[in-house]
Chain A
Amino acid sequence: MAITESDVRHVAMLARLALTDEQVTTLTAELGSVLGHIDELQRLDLTGVQPTAHPLAMTNRMRADVIVPGLSREAALSNAPESDGMAFLIPTITGAGEES
């Protein structure tokens, strides 16, 4: 499965990265090379093998339902690029076109 420039542009949109044409060219070659190396996985017969998402068998870890202090609003906003002291400020969100 060779990766193309058009794949790279599609993935860059999914990943929300505004890449330059030069970056697209470089990444197409680099990702193609890495994918070429890891293609060995495609040749393994792993039919019937259960996938592992997590190394330890831990399920439903519960804690007591008690209220503990969380991050204060001041602390949560302290690294914001833009805020009004009450909320994060962002540019307008209406009318923005976006590929799905």
Chain B
Amino acid sequence: MSGIDLSVFPARQIRDAIASGEFSAREAADAAYERIDALDSDVHAFLQLTPELAYAAADRIDALRAAGEDLPSLAGVPAGIKDNMNLVGTRTTCASRILGDYESVYDCTAVRRLLDAGALPIGKCNMDEFAFGSSTENSAYGPTRNPWDLDRVPGGSSGGSAAVVAAGMASISLGSDTGGSIRQPGALTGTVGLKPTYGRVSRYGIVAFGSSLDQIGPFGRTVEDVALTLEAIAGEDAMDATSSPEPVERYSEALGIGAKGLRVGVVRDMLAAEGCGEEIRAVVDQAAETFAALGAEVGSVDLPNAKHGLAAYYIIGPAEASSNLARFDGIRYGHRAAEATDVLDLYMRSRAEGFGPESIRRIMLGTYALSAGYYDAYYGQAQKARTRIIEDFRAAFERFDILLTPTTPEVAFRFGEKVDDPYTMYLNDYYTIPVNLAGNCAVSVPSGLCTTTGMPMGLQIIGDYFAESTLLRAAAAFEEATGFDSVPPLVKALGVAKGGE
């Protein structure tokens, strides 16, 4: 037994403990796999475990330490990776049958940078197939369960990445966020989830969903862990022409200076949306009071076009997805239908056999919206609505440094509750989608537990383009004032071993 409990050890303390010789990187990896042995048969957060890679990385860290070298920022920190990111030595399945046997042949830049910073790749995390969904129920390999209540979903699409952090099976993880797929599972599992500004993190090596919307980002138990991870993965990349040359800041050093003087805008019109629970609304009002008490200037703002975000997104997202998923044709990789009579037959049956129901739905919706006769009415109109949403945010950020909304309209729901009507599932991303359409940054921070369900709730803090330092500074101030206990009862029942706090 390693005797290390990752649920109470932030990333920086793991690195420092390894640097000071308190324990080794191998023992940090042991701690992750012990927790996985204890819990993952119930939680099912991992699709593949990669102990060979993790222990090889740990040995490199331990050798650096033995040689008296400086350790990198995430040295020995156990990390989970969403299964839509390539890493040589792992399969990259996107939780789809069509890529069931796909072996990565190159590395995703963000993953490579995470590992270069010393993190240990513990395994690949479950997700909704091709990141289509908000519950992981669309995984071809079975859903992930929420560590706070195994009868409830962990959110999605990065539900596995959220659950591994919530359950202490890794300290940090990478997810991807196209319409809320990091922030929504962050809120539902009591973890911190950041969607960086579009272009802040390279998209090279992630299997594309919506190319103008996708962004890789971190999950952590603390804002500082998320800041450290962002520092490691952010920055320009020659392999992604949409990655930004904007300099990477020392996000972790912007924390701990409070919220005094920050201009905080509560997004009033979105808060009044139908379907938003009373207690969830109260989260935002309480957060506004918290920020005021910390010396921030709190005001109200409206984003009148943001309510059309959901409709615009369900045109633009599927349109881009239908184009991106055209590459799965049974020719170069992935599932190929048996005994095809000709190439058209091979395409059509390989795709129909390989894609799950939600993928087929999105491909159909996107293809329809882009087809002759409907393009202007749907896709063109959605692109114009997108412009209006961007203008709303521009105006809001002239008056405010950060904006507040709930992350989700409700807490984690039960399995099967929303599978009959796809649109009820889509509504889960009402608050998160406008940020993907505009391309700025946002983070979900745990705000407390719902009194009726005991499930975590999340506050969404929205920042301006490339304003991650301000965003995370505000998030850290809120986190400190809230004092949320991020350890779920399931983990507490295991008995806490050696902690770092």
Residues of chain A at the chain B interface (Cβ within 8 Å): 1, 3, 7-8, 10-12, 14-19, 23, 27, 30-31, 33-35, 37-42, 44, 46, 49-56, 58, 61, 63, 71, 75-76, 78-82, 88, 90-93, 95-98
Q: A35-B368, A91-B341 are in contact. List 5 more A-B contacts (CB 8 A).
A: A27-B360, A52-B386, A78-B103, A80-B333, A92-B342
One of B32-40, B43-51, B62-70, B307-315 contacting the partner: B307-315
B102 beta carbon closer than 8 Å to chain A: yes
Q: How far is the CA of A7 from the CA of B40 in the complex (A)?
A: 44
| Contact residues in B for A35 (Cβ distance below 8 Å) | 365, 368
Contact indicator B314/A55 (Cβ below 8 Å): no
B494 within 8 A of A: no
B361 touches A27 (CB 8 A): yes
Are A58 and B343 CB-contacts (below 8 A) given A33-B422, A52-B383?
no
Q: Does B382 contact A (CB under 8 A)?
A: yes
Residue contact A7 to B343, C-beta cutoff 8 Å: no
Contact of B102 among A39, A58, A79 (CB under 8 A): A79
Decide if A31 touches B368 in the complex (CB within 8 Å). Answer: yes
A-B complex: 6 closest residue pairs judged by Cβ atoms: A55-B439, A51-B383, A81-B336, A79-B333, A96-B342, A18-B348
Main secondary structure of the interface of A (DSSP, over half): loop
Q: From the candidates A17, A61, A79, name the one contacting B364 in the complex (CB within 8 A).
A: A17
| A3: B residues at CB distance < 8 A | 368
Encode contact with A along B354-365: 1 for CB under 8 Å, 0 otherwise.
Answer: 010000110111
Nearest chain-A residue to B213 (Cβ)?
Answer: A55
Chain B residue with the shortest CB-CB distance to A19: B352
24 example contacts (A-B, Cβ-Cβ < 8 A) are as follows A7-B368, A8-B364, A14-B367, A14-B371, A15-B364, A16-B344, A17-B355, A18-B349, A18-B352, A19-B360, A27-B364, A33-B422, A41-B381, A44-B384, A46-B388, A51-B384, A55-B438, A56-B439, A75-B106, A76-B332, A79-B102, A79-B103, A88-B331, A91-B343
| Cβ of B300 under 8 Å from chain A | no
- Give the residue name and chain of the B residue nearest to A99 (CB): B344
Query: B421: CB under 8 A from chain A?
Result: yes
Contact B212 A54 (CB under 8 A): yes
Residues on the B chain within 8 Å of A27, using CB: 360-361, 364
Could you say which of B345, B364, B371, B386 contacts A51, with CB atoms under 8 Å apart?
B386
CB <8 Å contact, B343 and A75: no
Distance (Å) between the CB of B323 and the closest chain A CB?
10
On chain B, the residues within 8 Å of A12 by CB distance are 364
> Which residues from B are CB-within-8-Å of A53?
212, 383
Q: Does B1 contact A (CB under 8 A)?
A: no
From B241, which residue of chain A is reached at the shortest CB distance? A61
Chain A residue at minimum C-beta to C-beta distance from B329: A16
A37 partner residues in chain B, CB cutoff 8 A = 310-311, 314, 423
